[in-house]
């Protein structure tokens, strides 16, 4: 299916009467607002306990991958930043932080921040680009992702167990800037960036697997993808491939990996053969937290993808050494 056949994104995930606009769309939401589902008795508590949102950004070149996230859990906030050496393998640095929503962190569709001891993470939309300004004890990233020169975003509204979530994914955004980590400096010009803004009313126990990549096919065509399994009760709801300037829906995929050794190779495949990928790890960001009422087990592994994808025209093409991440997440929140 060609991107032109996807409907344009609605203003938000809910209609004026609170009905969910379930589906996959091209473009971006004006705003993700769940207030129509949080009215009435207990609405404030439902928002505090069930509304989760985050903004994630990444940048990849042939040499390095960097990821940063700001997360608002309602009653707590979290931020992390990490960088991985793709050229030689190995983790350059990985840091994570806890904070208080409103005080330490804020997440919305255009300006996000996390500020705390040893950490300043800022992601901000300025015209046709996103500015990334990250300072931690071991990492410095000043960069820009050019949304105006990237392909269409994917906007998704999907059901989850006992709830709803909306997410907007952007990929293949030309990057500029500089990253300093592990005692080295990397030029981000010529690379690609990606964004994930997600907001939902999620169940207390939530799990998912995620694959995201951004690079070039052997013929130089920009190629990226977003695949997920386990979060939505509609399999494949947010699975898309970016091929050049086109956005192509893909069906459900299956992740095969060793949860105890996520640094070992992964496989991501679809039943119809449209996706057949292998993932080789270069370095990993890991968080395991147990706060009593809240627990999480989270790994995000950066590395490279190889295999095959089916193009919009039906041809099968090779994917070679495309940078990206895999993720395995379990959270009780």
Give me the DSSP letters along 199-213: EEE--SEEEEEEEEE
Name residues of the chain where pLDDT drops below 50.
Answer: 1-3
Give the tens place of pLDDT for each residue, 104-146. 999 987 899 999 999 999 999 998 999 999 999 999 999 999 9
pLDDT of amino acid 109? 77
Residue (of 61, 67, 60) closest to 82 by Cα position: 67
In the prediction, which pLDDT does 49 show?
Answer: 84
CATH architecture of 3-28+37-332: Beta Barrel (2.40)
Is the CB of residue 236 less than 8 Å from the CB of residue 257? no
Put residue 35 in one of left, alpha, beta given phi > 0 → left and psi -120 to 50 → alpha.
alpha
Residue in the block written with tokens 């960088």: 83
Q: How far apart are CA 285 and CA 313, in angstroms?
A: 37
Give me the residue spans of the domains in the chain: 3-28+37-332
Residue 277 · residue 268 · CB < 8 Å? yes
Q: Helices in the chain by DSSP H: which ranges?
A: 43-50
Nearest Cα to 157, choosing from 5, 31, 24?
Answer: 24
Buried b / exposed e over 320-332, threshold 16 CB at 10 Å, is eebbbbbbbbbbe
pLDDT reported for residue 40: 80
Reported as type and span, the H/E element at residue 126 is strand 119-126
pLDDT at 46: 83
| 95/3 Cα distance (integer angstroms) | 37
What DSSP assignment string belongs to 161-200?
TTEEEEEEEEEEEEEEEEEEETTEEEE-TT-EEEEEEEEE
User: What does the block give as tokens for 124?
Assistant: 């901000």
Q: Return the pLDDT at 1.
A: 36
């Amino acid at each position: 299916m060609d991107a032109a056949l996807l409907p344009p994104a609605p203003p938000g995930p809910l209609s004026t009467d609170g009905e969910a606009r379930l589906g996959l769309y091209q473009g971006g939401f004006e705003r993700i607002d769940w207030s129509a589902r949080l009215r009435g008795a207990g609405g404030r508590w439902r928002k505090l306990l069930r509304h989760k949102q985050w903004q994630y950004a990444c940048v990849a070149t042939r040499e390095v991958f960097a990821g940063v996230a700001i997360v608002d859990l309602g009653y707590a906030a979290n931020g992390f930043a990490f960088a991985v050496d793709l050229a030689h393998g190995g983790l350059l640095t990985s840091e994570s932080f806890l904070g208080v929503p409103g005080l330490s962190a804020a997440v919305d569709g255009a300006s996000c921040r996390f500020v705390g001891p040893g950490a300043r993470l800022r992601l901000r939309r300025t015209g046709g680009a996103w500015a990334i300004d990250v300072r931690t004890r071991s990492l410095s990233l000043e960069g820009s992702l050019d949304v105006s020169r990237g392909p269409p975003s994917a906007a998704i509204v999907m059901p989850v167990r006992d709830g709803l979530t909306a997410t907007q994914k952007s990929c293949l955004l030309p990057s500029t800037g500089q990253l300093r980590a592990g005692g080295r400096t990397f030029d981000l010009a010529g690379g690609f960036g990606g964004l994930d803004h997600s907001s939902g009313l999620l169940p207390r126990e939530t799990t998912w697997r995620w694959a995201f990549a951004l690079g070039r096919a052997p013929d130089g065509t920009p190629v990226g993808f977003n695949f997920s399994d386990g979060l939505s009760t509609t399999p494949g709801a947010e699975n898309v491939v970016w091929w050049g300037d086109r956005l192509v829906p893909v069906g459900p995929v299956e992740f095969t990996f060793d949860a105890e050794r996520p640094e070992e190779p992964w496989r991501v495949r679809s039943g119809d053969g449209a996706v057949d990928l292998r993932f080789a790890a270069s370095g990993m960001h890991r968080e395991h937290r147990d706060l009593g009422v809240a627990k999480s087990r989270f790994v995000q592994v950066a590395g490279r993808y190889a295999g095959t994808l089916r193009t919009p025209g039906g041809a099968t093409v090779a994917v070679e050494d495309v940078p990206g991440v895999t993720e395995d997440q379990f959270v009780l929140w």
